[in-house]
Structure 1
Amino acid sequence: MYDRILVPTDGSDPAERAFEQALDLAATYDAELHVLYVVDVSALAGEFDAVTVVDKLEESGRKITRRLRERAESAGVSRVETRVAEGVPYRAILDYAADHDADLVVMGTHGRTGIDRYLLGSVTERVVRKSDVPVLTVRGDEES
């Protein structure tokens, strides 16, 4: 049913929960698991050393994706691809899914409502609305 599952992550609790679901699905369907961390360069406009910030965020992304790869391999999922990318998160996720023929995207959601959702937007919501493949959303706990 699923050959390639994409799970974008930012290291948050909802992303961790989504990873667990994606890991279970990858093991069940013997699917390739793709773990993607996107450095949001659109949020870095300003008068500071953006290069240093991007480098730090990329380093953080590499640590997170490496940790998730190890967890997947320990759980018996042998086909794991990881990537740290730069860009607008929802676009980078959609592009990655299209470029790698993902069958499913599994994403965490913070469950924001009201003014928070309006002001902050939702990467997950944008991916759900624009994706050509199914998107499974996984909510974080009440405190996230």
Structure 2
Amino acid sequence: MTQVIACIDGTDVSTTVCDYAVWASLRMDAPLEFLHVLDKSEYPTDTNLSGNIGLGSREALLDELAALDEKRGKLALEQGKLMLEAAKSRALDSAIKNPTTRQRHGSLVETLNEMETSIRLLVLGKHDDHLSEHIGSRLENVVRTLHRPILITTAADYRLPQKVMLAFDGSATTRKGVEMVATSPLFRDMPCHLIMVGTDNHSNREQLQWAKHTLEAAGFDTPATLLSGEVEKVLCDYRAAHDIDMLIMGAYGHSVIRRFLVGSTTTSVVRNASVPVLLLR
């Protein structure tokens, strides 16, 4: 059975991650699991420093450092358990039935790769103070590795999604994205604004019309617009002007919008987004 997986780390985005995961779980009628992964490289629970150059003869210091690292790791694991219980309690208060929790001590990417077949939607939070020119190495690695829809939330308070925007370029990935939105209960009964950034020509208009008809046939109110300009600015300006609650985009590819999500442009859109971004693969 596939489920919504929410990654909880105890930072300022964890509450928002929890709330959007609850929203998605209820909308899709999918089980919800909260995941906490403690990175072994930062929080070892079994430390051996005997190989450190210059410390080999200082056994007492080595033992003390190892003991401190082990204690720090175990305390972090206990803190993680408390965070998971708090998230579970919050979900129960929001009418989620039987939310589960899972804790791992290792690598977030490796853990999610092992769980990939059971993931229907992954919810992650971005940390604005750590982004600079990158999304954050862990978050970016997850986006590049996992072939599942990923909802990236901001540190802002949860806001019930009522209008969404889908960035469309006519590629196979974004056509699949249109079909996913059309068939998923996640956005049902919401207006879905369809935006294409490119040249106003017959091919682009035809592609946009296909996407609009597909969504309208599924019952969506679908304002569709073909705009020219720099992709990031066009999308951000449109989102602000129409008070959009969530942006939906394809994650990778070779066309204009999907190049926008590779390398520095990927980090730019996610870093600057003031609303959650749903990345589709």
TM-score (ref. length: structure 2): 0.44
Post-superposition offset of 1:113: 2.0
The count of aligned residue pairs is 135
Corresponding position of 1:102 = 119
Report the AA paired with residue 8 of structure 2.
Answer: T
Unaligned segments of structure 1, at least 5 residues: none
Give, in whole Å, the separation in 1 of the partners of 2:66 and 2:91.
37
Partner secondary structure for residue 41 of structure 2: helix
Deviations 1:26-84 (A, max 9, x none): 12222111101111111246643232122101100100000111111111101311011
Residue type of the partner of 1:4? Q
The match for 2:66 is 48
User: In the alignment, which residue of structure 2 is the partner of 1:137?
Assistant: 152
Q: What pairs with 1:1-144 in structure 2 (closer than 5 Å)?
A: 3-44=2-43, 47-49=65-67, 50-98=69-117, 101-111=118-128, 112-114=131-133, 117=134, 121-141=136-156
- Give the drift of 1:12: 1.1
- Superposed displacement of residue 16, structure 1: 1.9
Give the RMSD, CA atoms, in angstroms: 2.2
Q: Which has the higher contact order (CA 8 A, sep 6+)?
A: 1
Contact 2:18 2:91 (8 Å CA) reproduced: no
Q: Secondary structure at the match of 1:13?
A: coil
Paired AA for residue 28 in structure 1:
R
Amino acid paired to 1:124: L
TM-superposed deviation, 1:124 = 1.4
Between Structure 1 and Structure 2, the one with more helix by share is 1
Equivalent position SS for 2:111:
helix
Q: 2:35 & 2:89 partners in 1: Cα distance? A: 14
Distance in 2 between residues matched to 1:36 and 1:91, nearest whole Å:
13
- Counterpart-to-counterpart distance in 2, 1:124 and 1:36: 14
**Partner secondary structure for residue 39 of structure 1:** strand
Runs of 4 or more, structure 1, over 3 Å off, are 44-48
TM-score, length-scaled by structure 1: 0.82
